[in-house]
């Protein structure tokens, strides 16, 4: 045989892997890259990164039209979150008394105001004690709005002086208001 210069020489044979030799692992590298990308995406979704609002943060439901109907667009909202069924409100607000009007299947938006809801009258007594809307209130008591159903077709429920002790925005999430020790 001749070499590339036309001069007789050893022939260059194609290299074949010898039996039992390791082959290049191109597929394994592609799999590693795919798994790495998927793991990275999972971490972005599962770990809080500061770009998503925390549970109960009103920013998490800012685009929900029911927030405005509950007065959350103008009120001083401390917490706001949705629940899958209104009848489960006591899971999220365990210190709230029983409210038969919430024993409904549709989902609901819960809005907790720092002080008073915008639905309180501007002046005059608001309770049997004669307290005015500007009177100091007990710690842990808030006005709460629960809008049941779809925006515009649901039911607005406003409650005054509700204890938020033990409140959570998700079933298995952290307690947002531990209440009195």
Model confidence at 12, pLDDT cuts 50, 70, 90, reads: low
Q: Does residue 131 form part of some domain? A: yes
Distance between CA atoms of residues 77 and 80, nearest Å: 7
Q: What is the mean pLDDT of residues 86-95?
A: 94
Residues 6+ apart with CB under 8 A from 119: 71, 143, 145, 158
Q: Does residue 42 form part of some domain? A: no
Report the percentage of the chain scoring pLDDT > 90: 30
Per-residue pLDDT reduced to its tens digit, 124-179: 444 444 444 444 456 778 999 999 999 889 999 999 999 999 999 888 888 888 77
Count of domains observed in the chain: 1
Bridge partners for 163 per DSSP: 141
Q: Which domain holds residue 134?
A: 58-177
Q: Does residue 153 form part of some domain? A: yes
Q: What is the mean pLDDT of residues 32-46?
A: 63
Q: Does residue 20 form part of some domain? A: no
Q: What is the mean pLDDT of residues 96-115?
A: 92
Residues 6+ apart with CB under 8 A from 165: 94, 95, 140, 177, 178, 179, 180
């Amino acid at each position: 045989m001749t070499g590339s210069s036309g001069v007789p020489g050893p022939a260059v044979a194609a290299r074949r892997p010898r039996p039992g030799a390791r082959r290049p692992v191109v597929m394994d590298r592609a799999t590693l890259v795919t798994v790495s990308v998927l793991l990275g995406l999972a971490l972005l979704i599962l770990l809080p990164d500061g770009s998503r609002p925390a549970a109960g943060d009103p920013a998490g439901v800012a685009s929900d039209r029911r927030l405005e109907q509950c007065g959350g667009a103008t009120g001083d909202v401390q917490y706001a979150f949705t629940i899958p069924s209104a009848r489960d409100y006591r899971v999220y607000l365990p210190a709230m008394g029983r409210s038969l009007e919430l024993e409904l299947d549709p989902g609901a938006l819960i809005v907790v105001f720092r002080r008073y809801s915008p639905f309180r009258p501007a002046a005059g007594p608001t309770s049997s004690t004669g307290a005015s809307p500007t009177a100091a209130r007990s710690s842990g008591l808030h006005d709460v709005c629960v809008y049941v159903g779809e925006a515009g077709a649901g039911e607005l429920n406003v409650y005054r002086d509700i204890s938020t002790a033990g409140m959570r925005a998700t079933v298995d999430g952290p307690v947002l208001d531990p209440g009195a020790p």
